[in-house]
Amino acid sequence: MMTEKEAILKRHSVRAYEDRPIDEETLKLIRSKIDELNEQGNLHLQLIEDAGKTYNKLLNIAMGLGSAPSVIACAGKDDEDLDERVGYYGEKLVLYLTQLGLNTCWAGTFNRKNIGADVNDGERLVISIAVGYGKNQGKPRKSKTAEQVTAGKSDRPDWFKEGVEMALLAPTAINQQKFTIRLNEDDSVDFIDNGGVLSRVDLGIVKCHFEIGAKRE
């Protein structure tokens, strides 16, 4: 199986899917991973095998997402950091799905009434992730430079540069990349949300990517 870093490099958002369900053996692996991530992140991520009419809104149809066979509903206890945790652990799941040979797309616009998620009292449904076998593998998108998203001390170690490189490949809402990664004098790192649509979810995804890139073997 490819590494998480390899999955980051391979994965692009896919909006057109083949008309075939995810096989049962793969579904078992996904459910097991979701259980693990829910425990780690105190979340209520849910695999819904049949996406049904989740993506029947006009925007989704225009984007092609109506063909997605399955969906991950990203919910959890409605705490202040819920969006960020959903982004972080949701992206862990997205990368795992990539490792399994599946394609995905984070989707903030979807039919909340039709998704069929189990949202308990005190929980909030944040976002969805379309999942299935893509008709294509997607394509790279335009990205900001490292200089545009970093701040702090100028003497930057390789692990920081590698973390930023992976963070720049993080999917963000409408490709806004509204984040700053600051390297402090003591080599601690701060992640700054610069606002925007679903920017807290984006920040969690960025943190996930940065940690994978900055990991020292």
Task: Express each pLDDT in 166-190 by its tens digit.
Answer: 999 999 999 999 999 999 999 999 9
Mean pLDDT of 159-169: 98
Listed in sequence order, the residues at least 6 apart from 22 whose beta carbon sits closer than 8 Å to its beta carbon are 30, 49, 69, 70, 102, 131, 132, 133
Question: Which pLDDT value is given to residue 62?
Answer: 83
Q: How confident is the model at residue 150 (pLDDT cuts 50, 70, 90)?
A: very high
Q: Is the pLDDT of residue 100 over 80?
A: yes
Domain extents for the chain? Answer: 4-132, 146-214
Question: Sorting pLDDT into bands at 50, 70 and 90, what band is 1?
Answer: confident
Instruction: Identify the pLDDT of residue 105.
Output: 97
Give the pLDDT confidence score for residue 64 in this predicted structure: 85
Q: Give mean pLDDT, residues 186-198.
A: 96
Give the per-residue pLDDT at 167. 98
Does the structure show a pLDDT above 80 at 45? yes
* Predicted pLDDT at 38: 98
Confidence of residue 61 (pLDDT cuts 50, 70, 90): confident
Average pLDDT score over the chain: 96
> Any idea which architecture 4-132 has in CATH?
3-Layer(aba) Sandwich (3.40)
Give the pairing of strands 179-183 and 103-107: unpaired
Per-residue CA distances from 130 to 5, 47, 136, 199, 216 (Å) = 21, 10, 14, 19, 32
- pLDDT band for 216, please (50, 70, 90 cuts): low
pTM above 0.85, yes or no: yes
Residue 214 in contact with residue 193, Cβ under 8 Å?
Answer: no
